[in-house]
C-alpha cells in the first residue's frame, strides 16, 4: 500500500465567523478528491487547545504530545543542525521582533514579516556565542527562515532546566505544549520558572539576561539602521518560547505502523520531527514568491520519496501566514495555488500508484482571529476501495457531514486510518 499524507498548515477557519477560506476558494482538485473520500473533523490535540504546529504535527502523526513530547526548541535546533547538551543547555524557538527598546513594548512580533533570511543571519551572528555574565553561561543563536531563529541558553558548569515559561506573550507554556493566547499584554514577558528548583530559577535569570543583551546589541545594528532608513521595522529583539532540554525519545514511525515513511519538509521544526521519527527526509527550500516553482519542487520530492517509501508525509506552509495576518484574499489565493500547482498534478501520481490519500491541517488559523485556535480541522481519506461519503467540496462544513465523525484527539486519527486501509487492502 502507498499513502500520501498531505497537511495544509493552518488552512481551517471557523465557519461560525462567516465564509471560510476553503468555501471562498476555487480548488477543483481538492474538491474532486473530497467527492471520492470519507470525511470528518478532527481536534488536532484536543478541545480547548489552540496548538502550535510542532505539538500538533506530533499528535496527528499518532503520538500523544502530553505524554511523549519534550518541546519545540530541541526539534528546531535539530532541524537547524544544532545538538543539545542535556542538563546544561536549553533550546528555544525564537522570533526576531520589533519592540520599543526602552519599555520592551512589542510593536510587531515578526518585525513586519519582511525580515530576510540573510538579514536574520547577520543579526544572529552578532549574538551567537555571547557570554551572559553569570553561571558560566552563554547563548548560541542561529537564524533559520525569515524572522525565525533558534536560541540555546547554556552553561559550562551549572545545571539548567527547561521548566521556564515563554518570553513571547502570545503563547503560554502548558507542560511541553505551547498554546496560543487569545489576548495578551504586548510586552516581552519576564521569564518565569515553572518549578521551584535552582535549575529553573537559574535558567529564567539567564533568559532575562539574554533578552536584555539582545535588545541592547540589536538596537543600533547596521541591519536595523538600514531597515529603518528604508521605512521598515527594525528587528531589535528576540522572543523566546517552547523551551526544551532534550529531544523526545519516540518510537520510529516505521516501527509504529509497519510502513516506510518519507517526509517533504521545508521548515526546521518539520525537519526535526521527521528526523526524530526516523523518516526519510527530502528537505526543500523555503517558499519563494514563485508558487508554481515552489510546489513543483515539493511535488517532485513527493514523487522521489514515494519511489523508495510506502508513505509520504507532506507539510505545506501556505495558508498559515495570511491567516495570522488576517488577510482573507491572500489565504484564499494560497489555497488555490496549492490546488493548482500541487494537488492537481498529484492526482495523476495517486492514480498511477493507486495510493491512499489523507488531507487535513495541523490546526486552524482563522483569518478572523489572526492566531491559532482550537477549532476542529477538516479531514478526508481517499482510497479507491473505500466507499465515499458523497461530499460536494473540501470545506469545514462538508467534512462535518462525513462518516469519520469528529475525532477528539489528533493522535487517534492515523492508527484508525491505517486499520481501515489495511482492512480494504
CATH of the domain at 280: 3.40.720.10
Residues 94 and 225 in one domain: yes
Query: Looking at the domain assignment, is residue 75 inside a domain?
Result: no
Strands 89-99 and 148-155: antiparallel
Report pLDDT for 371. Answer: 94
Query: Looking at the domain assignment, is residue 171 inside a domain?
Result: yes
Query: Looking at the domain assignment, is residue 76 inside a domain?
Result: no
CA distance 52 to 139: 24
Where b means 16+ CB within 10 Å and e means fewer, 328-349 reads bebbbbbbbbbbbbbbbbbbeb
Whether the full predicted model's pTM is greater than 0.75, yes or no, is yes
Residues 291 and 314 in one domain: yes
Query: Looking at the domain assignment, is residue 206 inside a domain?
Result: yes
Residues 88 and 209 in one domain: yes
The x, y and z cell numbers of residue 81, run together, are 543542525
Query: Looking at the domain assignment, is residue 93 inside a domain?
Result: yes
Residue 180: strand pairing partners: 171
Total H helices, total E strands in the chain: 16, 15
Residues 127 and 188 in one domain: yes
Residues 322 and 411 in one domain: yes
The x, y and z cell numbers of residue 190, run together, are 519576564
Report pLDDT for 243. Answer: 97
Among 244, 275, 293, residue at a domain's last position: 244
**Number of structural domains found in the chain:** 2
Query: Looking at the domain assignment, is residue 259 inside a domain?
Result: yes
Containing domain of residue 165, as a range? 84-244
Strands 405-407 and 38-42: parallel
Q: Which residues contact 333 (CB under 8 A, 6 or more apart)?
A: 25, 322
CA distance 72 to 93: 7
Q: What is the DSSP letter of 130?
A: -
Closest CA to 72 of 242, 238, 190: 242
Residues 319 and 212 in one domain: no
Among 244, 279, 305, residue at a domain's last position: 244
Q: Which residues contact 173 (CB under 8 A, 6 or more apart)?
A: 164, 165, 166, 194, 241, 242, 243
Residues 262 and 403 in one domain: yes
Report pLDDT for 289. Answer: 83
Tens-binned pLDDT, residue by residue, of the chain (425 aa): 899 999 999 999 999 999 999 999 999 999 999 999 999 999 999 999 999 999 999 999 999 999 989 999 999 999 999 999 999 999 999 999 999 999 999 999 999 999 999 999 999 999 999 999 999 999 999 999 999 999 999 999 999 999 999 999 999 998 898 899 988 999 999 999 999 999 999 999 999 999 999 999 999 999 999 999 999 999 999 999 999 999 999 999 999 999 999 999 888 999 999 999 999 999 898 888 899 999 999 999 999 999 999 999 999 989 999 999 999 999 999 999 999 999 999 999 999 999 999 999 999 999 999 999 999 999 999 999 999 999 999 999 999 999 999 999 999 999 999 999 988 76
Query: Looking at the domain assignment, is residue 79 inside a domain?
Result: no
Among 227, 244, 261, residue at a domain's last position: 244
The x, y and z cell numbers of residue 31, run together, are 474538491
Strands 311-316 and 377-382: unpaired
> Is residue 80 within 8 Å of 268, Cβ to Cβ?
yes
Query: Looking at the domain assignment, is residue 78 inside a domain?
Result: no
CA distance 73 to 108: 22
Residues 211 and 285 in one domain: no
Residues 220 and 263 in one domain: no
Report pLDDT for 286. Answer: 83
Residues 419 and 335 in one domain: yes
Residues 239 and 252 in one domain: no
Closest CA to 359 of 322, 391, 330: 391
Where b means 16+ CB within 10 Å and e means fewer, 170-188 reads bbbbeebbbbbeeeeeeeb
Residues 214 and 273 in one domain: no
Amino acid at each position: 500500500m502507498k499513502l500520501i499524507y498531505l497537511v495544509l498548515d493552518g488552512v481551517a477557519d471557523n465557519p461560525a465567523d462567516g465564509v471560510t477560506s476553503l468555501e471562498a476558494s476555487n480548488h477543483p482538485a481538492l474538491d474532486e478528491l473530497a467527492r471520492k473520500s470519507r470525511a470528518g473533523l478532527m481536534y488536532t490535540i484536543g478541545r480547548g487547545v489552540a496548538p502550535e504546529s510542532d505539538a500538533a504535527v506530533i499528535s496527528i502523526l499518532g503520538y500523544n504530545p502530553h505524554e511523549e513530547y519534550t518541546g519545540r526548541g530541541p526539534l528546531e535546533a535539530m532541524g537547524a543542525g544544532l545538538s543539545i547538551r542535556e542538563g546544561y543547555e536549553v533550546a528555544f524557538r525564537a522570533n526576531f521582533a520589533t519592540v520599543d527598546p526602552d519599555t520592551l513594548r512589542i510593536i510587531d512580533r515578526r518585525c513586519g514579516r519582511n525580515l530576510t533570511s540573510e538579514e536574520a543571519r547577520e543579526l544572529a551572528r552578532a549574538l551567537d556565542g555571547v557570554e551572559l555574565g553569570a553561571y558560566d553561561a552563554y547563548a548560541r543563536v542561529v537564524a533559520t527562515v525569515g524572522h525565525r531563529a533558534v536560541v540555546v541558553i547554556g552553561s559550562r558548569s551549572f545545571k539548567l532546566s527547561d521548566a521556564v515559561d515563554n518570553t513571547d506573550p502570545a503563547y503560554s507554556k502548558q507542560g511541553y505544549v505551547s498554546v496560543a493566547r487569545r489576548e495578551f499584554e504586548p510586552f516581552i514577558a519576564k521569564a518565569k520558572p515553572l518549578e521551584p528548583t535552582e535549575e529553573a530559577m537559574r535558567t529564567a535569570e539567564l533568559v532575562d539576561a539574554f533578552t536584555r543583551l539582545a535588545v541592547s546589541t540589536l538596537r543600533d545594528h547596521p541591519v536595523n539602521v538600514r531597515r529603518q532608513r528604508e521605512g521598515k521595522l527594525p528587528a531589535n529583539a528576540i522572543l523566546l518560547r517552547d523551551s526544551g532540554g532534550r529531544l523526545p525519545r519516540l518510537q520510529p514511525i516505521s516501527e509504529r505502523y509497519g510502513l516506510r515513511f518519507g517526509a517533504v519538509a521545508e521548515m526546521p521544526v518539520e525537519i526535526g520531527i521527521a528526523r526524530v521519527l526516523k523518516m526519510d527526509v527530502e528537505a526543500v527550500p523555503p517558499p519563494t514568491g514563485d508558487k508554481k516553482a515552489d510546489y513543483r519542487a515539493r511535488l517532485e520530492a513527493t514523487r522521489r520519496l514515494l519511489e523508495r517509501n510506502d508513505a509520504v508525509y507532506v507539510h505545506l506552509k501556505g495558508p498559515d501566514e495570511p491567516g495570522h495576518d488576517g488577510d482573507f484574499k491572500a489565504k484564499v489565493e494560497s489555497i488555490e495555488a496549492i490546488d493548482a500547482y500541487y494537488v492537481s498534478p498529484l492526482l495523476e501520481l495517486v492514480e498511477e500508484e493507486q495510493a491512499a490519500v489523507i488531507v487535513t491541517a495541523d490546526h486552524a488559523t482563522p483569518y478572523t482571529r489572526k492566531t491559532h485556535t482550537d477549532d476542529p480541522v477538516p479531514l478526508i481519506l481517499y482510497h479507491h476501495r473505500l466507499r465515499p461519503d458523497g461530499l460536494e467540496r473540501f470545506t469545514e462544513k462538508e467534512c462535518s457531514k462525513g462518516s469519520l465523525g469528529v475525532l477528539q484527539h489528533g493522535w487517534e486519527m492515523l492508527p484508525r486510518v491505517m486499520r481501515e486501509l489495511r482492512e480494504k487492502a
